Structure 1
Amino acid sequence: MGKINVWLEVVVMVNLLCIFSRGIYAEVTETITLVENGKPLVMVVVPADVNSSLESLAHTLSKYILLSTKAEIPVQKEPADIGLIKIHLGNTSYVKNLNLGIEKLDADGFVISFPDDKNIVIIGGSEFGTEFGVYEFLERYIGIRWLFPGELGEYIPCYETLKISTKEVQQEPIFFSRFFSGLKGKEQADWARYNRMHHRVRFHHNLLRLFPPETYTKIHPQFFPIKEKETRYLPKDNKTHGWQPCFSSEGIVEEAIKNICEYFTKNPERTSYSLGVNDEGGHCKCGECLARVGDKKNSLGLRNYSDIYYEWCNAVVEGVLKKYPDKYFGLLAYSEVFDPPSKVKLNSHIIPYMTYERLKWADKEIEKEGQKLTGEWAKFASTLGWYDYIYGKPRDHYITPRVWFHKMAEYYRFAYENNVRALYAEAYPAADWREGPKLYLSLKLQWNPNLDVDKTLKEWYECAVGKEAAPYLAEYFAFWEEYWTKRIPQSEWFKSGRKNQYMNFNSSNYLVPLRIDDMVKCEQLLKLVVEKAGTEKEKSRANFFLSSFEGWRKNLSSFLNKFEQLTELEKISQLKDEVLLFAVNNYKNWVEKLPPNSFTDSIYLKIGLLMEKAGKKGAWAQAFDNSPWAKSNIRWLKSFVYNIHPAIINSDSLSAEFTSIPPKIDGILDDKCWLKAKKVDDFREYQSDILVSQPTLVGVAYDSDNLYLAYLCMEKNMGDLVTEIQEHDGRVWRDDCIEFFVVPSSNGDKFYQIIVSASEIKYDAYITNTGWNPQYSAKVYKGDLFWTVEMAIPFVSFAEKKPNSGSRWKVNFTRQRQSGKEKNKEISGWRFTAGNNLSPDKFGFLLFR
């Protein structure tokens, strides 16, 4: 971090363009010739005691001048006097005698100076600054651009004679720390460095390293949280997240101070330490912590631990600063500590990173809320950091390019105006660089957010593919910018995650607004780019972008076909009687002509159900018999499945029939009550309200004492069931599981929630309070192509007697599917909840008969 302390204390009095003349030297000519007709007129001079990194940098400068002009520029240690103009790199003896004021520069800042017509100086506030000065020199005077990683991404103009302006340049970054995580390999790392990426603040999840569990569960178990039922949680190893220290524990401040001071003693070159909370929550619920925290929720709807946490951070930092007064401390404003504290201002040496995906600011209301929160944070912290999610991650998250050039520039400018000085983003770019100029522009804006976005993009496109082809490449990326900033904020996928810190990348429903015609247009534009590209290298880059598109489009085609099929299916399911049968037959004929996808089997089942609803008897049974799930060797499966009531489709009500013979709770659904029970099969994805690939059936019955539930979860990939959670009331929803939500008629919107995983681990809560522990039975049965959950829940668990015939309770049945090789988990339910299953106002109704 070098001069972070100087940077924080000195107001950066630079023009927002970061370029100006100092005008303190003797007059020099307006230009200097570096190369004339291929002959070098300059050399690079480095200090006599030059280190390896500076010497390597000197050869980098020489290399790129050679690539541009074919002139070999010598690199020598001082003293060097062979009659050539000298480019002094770093603090040579000559530079030491100049008054360049570099001691006032930020560590990443630099000066490019022309003291006279025989000397050029490139020097920074640190080695990083000198390095960035060299890259500015190459960009400014030679026109080199590092458009994307690798040799193909280098734009290098060619000259026989190279003359440059002698106007002095001084620059400092507007944001002192700039970093992308997820870059892979040396090519991507080098590319980011050329574009001046430099990470200078440690702030990530770190409390498990401050108090490593394998040691501290033995010597200070009181430092660990009480989660539920007065039981202290002791993590199994040093890698386990899902817990936070008990910030009210006696001695925990002093122990933290001791450990951090020892860290700085062992690592004197380090300038910062992370106090970032661990991942996955798990804050302490001991009496003293809860007394200080209270019941207040934060902006994310989570219990607000900000005051207790940030007070603890202040106490720790104040203690460390007594021994190490120049150190800084980063941390994450994340989840339960997302909001600023209400009682204390943070120590000026603490830099909180606000975690949020700011592409969501394409929604004006969300943007307004985010700007307000940033303003609130600015009142409590003298310097802020921003943590963003700008994926990327095509294998796990997003297939298409995801770009928002102008919105990005807008929020960077807002950030600077509101005390944000450090930026970090999870990027994880694709190897085929399908997002084009996104990360390039981002790094340029992080250095100077007041750049002209359109001018910078135009230059990138022209450098990449030539002036004639550039407009078509610009139009291609403009389409994706419009898609992500205009279409996506209107989608159900976006709306369902409004309250989340980042968008739901686990769902591919961001593709729902995309149409096949869009892809045709994109292909046409990229083919025009190839056709219009000029030079051989421009042609190569154009083909690189087209090849990238053709590669990921193959993965996309099945999604587009799937979503068009599913969307049309939902429209048809709203029809009735003869019109319904006619529409379903036409739809079936259309689907049969399309290539199959992961949803095809489920679609055919729904077609059979709709035909049955339209009056074609036996259509449902026939559809099931033709499905892959009918290949199961379990005999009772068909009897359970056949007995379904298609009239329930799109209904918000399900009947529970009284049974005089209760089912045997063993997970085997062959009891008489299940054979005659009305069942729901209409499970839809909880964010997009469309069909899922693996159907779920649910039946309900009751007697005088119990409510009985039967879930049948069809599953082609039984060997891939996820059953990792083994703790009662743990994060069971991360496994393959079913959920039951119920609001008894007398309880308004206060709901009970029961989760049972495929390994029979339970979670039960009353309005998310896991202190509710009903005595109920639940058994799981695992078949060959399905698994089941069968439950008997006493009515007294809900403080209720047997409901009278005609009573109505609010309920919902949901399923979390983690298994499958599609790497796309499905969260589905009977009633659509717009991305929030904890929404009793969206539940359906259970009618007791």
Structure 2
Amino acid sequence: MKNLVNVLLFLCFLPMTVLSQQSVNIVVDPNSSTNILGAVQEMTTILKKIQPTLRIQRSQSTSNDNVNIVIKTGDSFAKSNLSDSDGFVIKKIDNRTVLISGISEIGTEFGIYGYLEDVIGVCWLMPSDLWLDLPAKISTFFPSSVKIEQPFFLTRELSPLDPGKKGSKMGEWARRNKLRRRVEFHHNMNTLFQNSKNVDFIASYKGQQAMPNFSSNGNWQPNFSAKGITEYASKEIIAFFRKNPTASSYSLGINDSYRFDTRIVGLSKTKAGLTNFSDSYYKWVNNVVNNVNKEVPNKTFGLLAYLNVGDAPSFKLAKNVVPFIPFERLQWIDGQSAQSDLMMLKDWKDVSQEVGWYDYIYGLNYLVPRPYFKTLDNYIKRGAANNVRHYYAEFYPNWIDGPKGWLLTKLLWDPNIPSENLLDTWYTKAFGTRSSKSMKAFYGVWENFWTVDVKKTAWWKKRKIWLAFSDTSYLKEIPQDNYARSLSYLNDALKNAENGQYKERIQYLKEMFDFQCLNYYYVNNISNPITKNKVNKNEIENSLQKLRRYEINDVFYRSYKKAIKY
């Protein structure tokens, strides 16, 4: 009897956090958005995967018998400490309650993912279940300190990953890593003028109308000086916002075409040597935006500072216009290119209240891994230091690039994090302690190629705004030793893998690299060192088909079949 009393007394004084480790109460409004409820379900699934014996319930109030995870949009603490809609707070309220809150529903949703990542230890390394990394156990449900997080870059987008696309592994990965478009800015003249019957709105190019009608192929530009074109565009955009009152942005991006109106004479040249239509175009932009502002205020207008309108105009833009400056910033490995890009940024900052960067970080179509982590870290940090607040990249991933996409998501949220720490985290979580060193060395081989050796190639000299991603001639200028060393590192990593999941991830990357090796041997007419035979196209095709069993390779497969030609 005395022993029983002692046990009961011990339990009475045991901290609540210990008593409740096997039971969690998620406090959430059942009328929350489908996105928040979906994130709650994701949290429930993940917590149960880590700790199958965990009892999880949902309710609308806290309980004295459980760990309480309170998910609430617009909590007073969040309102007092946040200014951005994507931001969130994670705060321990007492020994049994933790709060997750944003000032908007998207912020609260991001807070759920932030909680799983920062407190529980979950990591979405790459898309698909294979690359979802879970801790061996739940060590705590509470943050070590109050977390107040807001993104530095407002637009954080890696195309074609669509965070809003349900059921897409790549879209889900993007959303879990808190990617989001905040400003519409892409090519949009086709859409804006699709209902127009006035062919005078179409530019005259070299003596004839650039297009016979308002074609959807995009190979034309409007005549931005045409009579009535400002009024027409203003009316269309006002109608769009009234029909879509929750839309916050509209794109005034030009079409992807050089066919501007050549009847305008006496124009200067842009820094890229093209006829400069900036003043004509941006005058139209300002007039349209000012008209719309009077009827539908507080909207944002993005656009592309691109081709013949790539230089800043001679006057300031309306305050709610955000130009995106396209340039493949891997070219920063050449110091002169970096300085030119920064000078272009300065020109645009002189006339714009906010500026975005448009980048090209492929990925797809390249037949070798394409990491350049230090360069990426450098220009993201320099961009942030110069107050670039929006970032978009044509990512089109080739997942053999490993941590590149994940690293970028973290730097866009907080560019002050040391990239070396982020990469060490990724390698260890992805491959385990014993294999991470070999995998880091594997990516080091290719980072050296893309940041040092590539500058010596003839392929590099062809660069313009973006590099020639469909030109595979660089394969003829890579030392064969790069492949031998890479295969050695991959084999070492496989041999040292500590568990089946690490081994499966490394095997996936090795199969991708084996496919790339075959392409290298074929292009250079080299015998496969393993079979001692010359490689033929059927062998490459069979290797490609084998890769299709990985669901995240589908875009890569279709692009390769369409674009790669020898």
With the shorter chain as reference, the TM-score category is 0.7 to 0.9
Partner of 2:534: 595
Verify: 1:278 aligned to 2:250, yes or no: no
Distance 1:238 1:150 in 2: 39
Verify: 1:508 aligned to 2:472, yes or no: yes
Partner of 1:305: 277
Q: 1:280 to 1:133 in 2, by over 3 A?
A: same
Verify: 1:56 aligned to 2:28, yes or no: no
Q: Is the 8 A contact 1:347 1:381 kept in 2?
A: yes
1:93-104 alignment runs, 5 A limit: 96=75, 98-101=76-79, 104=82
Partner of 1:400: 368
Partner of 2:555: none
Q: 1:399: Cα distance to partner?
A: 1.1
SS in 1 for 2:26: strand
Distance 1:350 1:487 in 2: 40
Partner of 1:568: none
1:711-722 alignment runs, 5 A limit: none
Q: 1:110: Cα distance to partner?
A: 0.4
1:688-767 alignment runs, 5 A limit: none
CA distances 1:190-248 after superposition (whole Å, capped 9, x unpaired): 11111111111110000111111xx42xx31211111122x333344541212111111
Residue type of the alignment partner of 1:153: W
Q: 1:136: Cα distance to partner?
A: 1.3
Partner of 1:134: 112
Q: Which has the higher contact order (CA 8 A, sep 6+)?
A: 2
Residue type of the alignment partner of 1:327: K
Q: 1:460 to 1:161 in 2, by over 3 A?
A: closer
Partner of 1:245: 222
Partner of 2:552: none
Q: 1:354 to 1:161 in 2, by over 3 A?
A: closer
Residue type of the alignment partner of 1:316: V
Partner of 1:261: 238
Partner of 1:89: 71
Q: Is the 8 A contact 2:22 2:55 kept in 1?
A: yes
Q: 1:163 to 1:247 in 2, by over 3 A?
A: closer
Q: Which has the higher helix share?
A: 2
1:325-344 alignment runs, 5 A limit: 325-341=297-313, 343-344=314-315
Q: Is the 8 A contact 2:82 2:150 kept in 1?
A: no
SS in 2 for 1:101: helix
Distance 1:337 1:399 in 2: 33
Q: Percent identity?
A: 32
Q: 1:552: Cα distance to partner?
A: 2.5
SS in 1 for 2:182: coil
Q: Is the 8 A contact 2:205 2:259 kept in 1?
A: yes
Name stretches of at least 5 consecutive residues in structure 1 with no aligned partner: 1-31, 565-592, 599-820, 827-849
Partner of 1:314: 286
1:370 to 341, 346, 359: 341
The total of aligned residue pairs comes to 521
Q: 1:501 to 1:34 in 2, by over 3 A?
A: farther
Residue type of the alignment partner of 1:527: N
Q: Is the 8 A contact 1:402 1:481 kept in 2?
A: yes
SS in 1 for 2:452: helix
Partner of 2:131: 153
1:220-231 alignment runs, 5 A limit: 220-229=198-207, 231=208
1:101-120 alignment runs, 5 A limit: 101=79, 104-120=82-98
Partner of 1:479: 445
Q: TM-score, normalised by structure 1?
A: 0.59
2:488 to 524, 540, 548: 524
Q: 1:822: Cα distance to partner?
A: 9.1
Q: Is the 8 A contact 1:102 1:110 kept in 2?
A: no
Residue type of the alignment partner of 2:318: N
Q: Is the 8 A contact 2:27 2:59 kept in 1?
A: yes
Partner of 2:5: none
Verify: 1:446 aligned to 2:412, yes or no: yes
Q: 1:181 to 1:367 in 2, by over 3 A?
A: same
1:42-81 alignment runs, 5 A limit: 42-79=24-61, 81=63
Q: 1:427 to 1:822 in 2, by over 3 A?
A: closer
Partner of 1:425: 393
Distance 1:176 1:344 in 2: 25
SS in 2 for 1:472: helix
Q: 1:596: Cα distance to partner?
A: 7.5
Distance 2:216 2:35 in 1: 34
Q: 1:114: Cα distance to partner?
A: 2.0
Q: Which has the higher strand share?
A: 1
CA distances 1:619-665 after superposition (whole Å, capped 9, x unpaired): xxxxxxxxxxxxxxxxxxxxxxxxxxxxxxxxxxxxxxxxxxxxxxx
Partner of 1:191: 173
Distance 1:377 1:554 in 2: 45
Q: Is the 8 A contact 1:103 1:125 kept in 2?
A: no
Distance 2:315 2:391 in 1: 24
SS in 2 for 1:178: strand
Q: 1:102: Cα distance to partner?
A: 5.4
Distance 1:369 1:472 in 2: 37
Distance 1:316 1:102 in 2: 37
Q: Is the 8 A contact 1:35 1:161 kept in 2?
A: no
Distance 1:412 1:262 in 2: 37
Q: Is the 8 A contact 1:69 1:161 kept in 2?
A: no
Verify: 1:490 aligned to 2:468, yes or no: no
Distance 2:394 2:138 in 1: 42
Q: TM-score, normalised by structure 2?
A: 0.87
Q: 1:65 to 1:426 in 2, by over 3 A?
A: same
CA distances 1:711-749 after superposition (whole Å, capped 9, x unpaired): xxxxxxxxxxxxxxxxxxxxxxxxxxxxxxxxxxxxxxx
SS in 1 for 2:222: coil
Structure with bigger gyration radius: 1
SS in 2 for 1:402: coil
Q: 1:273: Cα distance to partner?
A: 0.1
Partner of 1:672: none
Q: Is the 8 A contact 1:59 1:75 kept in 2?
A: no
SS in 1 for 2:400: coil
